[in-house]
């Protein structure tokens, strides 16, 4: 790509890997050094449920480890085939909490030739913010509240060009499912217990992050994108309809409530839902309902109005890729 007459900007091909509680994902992208833009080459991922049982046992399950390492072997082949120059592997909530994370790190290094970084919740929040805002900042007003709703944790980050306040909460789709939602469909008592768990966490978030300053609420990660597809009643997972979608807050809340109360069989019939999310999407929907409700209330209390919610496919993966420029 040329700039001016004689100056060339040489792109760097990078690979970003996000290893979360529920999914492991890969982004291969071309990055313009110093500019902060990426061109996607490959974006893929799979549900491996690395965090299976970690909330209860404090350890990574051997079967979950095996599934995740199998996925990473496939990623290694893609990275080699696309002549990647730099790779960064970021592990988040489940790995942070596991006593045997060192065993996992050694196996990853054997497969990929790099040591995984087990990032803090604050670092995870910053990467998610960077990824989401790299696209949204030109289309929506700030301050932005980026919410990364994962399997083991949920990050809330407020800022414009840079984060000004952030928090990572040990509340996610896998954790709340394993803690509370055991019936099919969940009972009202189970829902009430999970909601109380989420609200207690959001009380801590509101004390750390001025949620009422939010001008644009951006949700990222699999729970949010799936609920966006559900709200639009898509015939399949159509990324072009999901990425950048702006939905009325009431529609978002209704979609979350609908999915929460479905049976497992009914969730399994949703054409845009990854099979590996069937059991935990209800808990994720509950968390998203509580987050959106709380942000709406905080903005209104501050004298503002937040009528809609933005969904972004650009998230921590993009933030990791941008960090390699």
The pTM of this model reads: 0.88
What residue has token string 């909530």?
93
What pLDDT digit, counting tens, does each position of 298-318 carry? 999 999 999 899 999 998 899
What pLDDT digit, counting tens, does each position of 22-42 carry? 889 999 999 887 666 678 999
Instruction: Give the integer Cα–Cα distance in Å for 324 and 86.
Output: 7
Selected from 3.30.420.40, 1.10.357.10, 3.40.50.620, 3.30.450.20, the CATH number assigned to the domain covering 2-119 reads 3.30.420.40
pLDDT exceeds 90 at position 289? yes
Instruction: Give the integer Cα–Cα distance in Å for 255 and 191.
Output: 16
Secondary structure in 3-state letters for 101-125: HHHHHHHHHHHHCCCCEECCHHHHH
pLDDT value, residue 114 = 92
Superfamily of domain 122-317: Exopolyphosphatase. Domain 2 (3.30.420.150)
The token pair that represents 3 in the structure block: 């700039």
State whether residue 19 is helix, strand or coil: strand
Report domain extents, the chain: 2-119, 122-317
What pLDDT digit, counting tens, does each position of 78-134 carry? 999 999 999 999 987 667 777 787 888 899 999 999 988 888 878 888 898 988 888
pLDDT exceeds 50 at position 3? no
Q: Are strands 86-91 and 12-19 parallel, antiparallel or unpaired?
A: parallel
Q: Where are the alpha helices (DSSP H) in 169-325?
A: 173-179, 188-208, 222-232, 239-242, 249-260, 264-268, 281-301, 316-323
């Amino acid at each position: 790509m040329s700039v001016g007459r004689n100056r060339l900007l040489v792109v760097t091909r990078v690979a970003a890997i996000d290893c979360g509680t529920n999914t492991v994902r890969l982004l291969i992208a071309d990055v313009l050094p110093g500019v902060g833009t990426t061109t996607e080459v490959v974006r893929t991922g799979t549900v491996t449920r690395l965090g299976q049982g970690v909330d209860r046992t404090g350890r990574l399950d051997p079967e979950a480890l095996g599934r995740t390492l199998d996925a990473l072997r496939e990623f290694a082949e893609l990275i080699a085939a696309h002549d990647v120059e730099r790779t960064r592997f970021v592990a988040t909530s489940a790995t942070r909490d596991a006593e045997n994370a060192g065993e996992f790190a050694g196996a990853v290094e054997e497969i990929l030739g790099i040591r995984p970084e087990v990032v803090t919740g604050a670092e995870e929040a910053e990467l998610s913010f960077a990824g989401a805002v790299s696209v949204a900042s030109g289309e929506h007003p700030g301050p932005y509240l980026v919410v990364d709703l994962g399997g083991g944790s949920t990050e809330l980050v407020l800022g414009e060009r840079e984060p000004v306040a952030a928090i990572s909460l040990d509340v996610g789709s896998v954790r709340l499912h394993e803690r509370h939602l055991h019936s099919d469909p969940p009972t009202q008592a189970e829902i009430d217990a999970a909601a109380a768990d989420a609200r207690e966490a959001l009380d801590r978030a509101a004390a750390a992050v001025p949620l009422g300053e939010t001008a644009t609420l951006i949700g990222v990660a699999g729970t949010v994108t799936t609920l966006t597809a559900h709200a639009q009643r898509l015939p399949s997972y159509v990324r072009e309809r999901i990425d950048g979608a702006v939905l009325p807050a009431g529609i978002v809340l209704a979609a979350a409530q609908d999915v929460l109360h479905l049976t497992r069989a009914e969730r399994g019939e949703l054409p845009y839902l990854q099979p590996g999310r069937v059991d935990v999407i209800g808990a994720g929907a509950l968390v998203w309902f509580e987050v959106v409700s709380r942000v709406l209330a905080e903005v209104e209390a501050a004298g503002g109005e937040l009528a809609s919610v933005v969904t972004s496919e650009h998230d921590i993966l993009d933030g990791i890729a941008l960090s390699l420029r």
